[in-house]
Amino acid sequence: MKIVITGSNGRVGGALVDFLRGAGHEVIPLRREDVDLGRHSALRGALESLDYDAWVNPAALSSPDLCERDPALSQAVNATAPALMADVCRARDKYLLHFSTDYVYSGKDPGKRTEQDPAEPINHYGRSKREGELAVLASGARATVLRVSWVYGAKVPAFVEQCLQRFASAESTHAIADKWSIPTAMPDLSAWVDFLLTAQPGGVLHGCHGGEPVSWHGIAMALREILPPAGDCPIHATRLADAKHFAAARPIHTAMDNQLLSSLLPRPIDDWREAMRRVIT
Q: Give the integer Cα–Cα distance in Å for 175 and 170.
A: 16
**pLDDT for residue 227:** 86
| Per-domain boundaries in the chain | 2-149+186-208+256-269
Express as a percent the part of the chain with pLDDT over 70: 99
Q: What residue type is assigned to position 188 of the chain? A: D
Mean pLDDT of the chain: 96
Q: What is the pLDDT of residues 64-102, one digit of tens each?
A: 999 999 999 999 999 999 999 999 999 999 999 999 999
Q: What is the pLDDT of residues 143-198, one digit of tens each?
A: 999 999 999 999 999 999 999 999 988 889 999 999 999 999 999 999 999 999 99
**pLDDT for residue 17:** 98
Radius of gyration of the chain (CA): 18
**pLDDT for residue 196:** 98
Which whole number is the average pLDDT over 220-232? Answer: 83
Express as a percent the part of the chain with pLDDT over 90: 92
Q: Give the integer Cα–Cα distance in Å for 207 and 21.
A: 21
Which whole number is the average pLDDT over 101-116? Answer: 98
Evaluated on CA atoms 110, 114, 118, 121, the torsion sign reads positive
Task: Work out the number of other CB atoms within 10 angstroms of the CB of residue 131.
Answer: 19
**In 3D, which of 191, 145, 209, 186 has the Cα closest to residue 279?**
186
Q: What is the pLDDT of residues 236-275, one digit of tens each?
A: 999 999 988 999 999 999 999 999 999 999 999 999 999 9
Q: Give the integer Cα–Cα distance in Å for 219 and 33.
A: 34
Which whole number is the average pLDDT over 209-219? Answer: 97
**pLDDT for residue 252:** 98
DSSP string, the chain: -EEEEESTTSHHHHHHHHHHHHTT-EEEEE-TTT--TT-HHHHHHHHHHS--SEEEE------HHHHHH-HHHHHIIIIIHHHHHHHHHHHHT-EEEEEEEGGGS---SSS-B-TTS-----SHHHHHHHHHHHHHHHS-SEEEEEEE-SEESSSS--HHHHHHHHHHTT--EEEE-S-EE--EEHHHHHHHHHHHHHH---EEEEES-BSS-EEHHHHHHHHHHHSGGGTTS-EEEE-GGG-TT--S---SB--B--HHHHHHSSSPPPBHHHHHHHHH-
Q: Give the integer Cα–Cα distance in Å for 234 and 272.
A: 23
Which whole number is the average pLDDT over 1-28? Answer: 97
Residues 73, 60: contact at Cβ < 8 Å?
no
Task: Work out the number of other CB atoms within 10 angstroms of the CB of residue 267.
Answer: 7
Which whole number is the average pLDDT over 23-32? Answer: 97
Q: Which CATH superfamily is domain 2-149+186-208+256-269 in?
A: NAD(P)-binding Rossmann-like Domain (3.40.50.720)
Measure the CA angle with vertex 204, ends 202 and 205; round to 5°.
Answer: 105
Q: Where residue 230 falls among pLDDT bands split at 50, 70, 90?
A: low
User: What pTM does this model have?
Assistant: 0.96
Q: Give the integer Cα–Cα distance in Å for 73 and 80.
A: 10
Residue 111 has pLDDT above 70, yes or no: yes
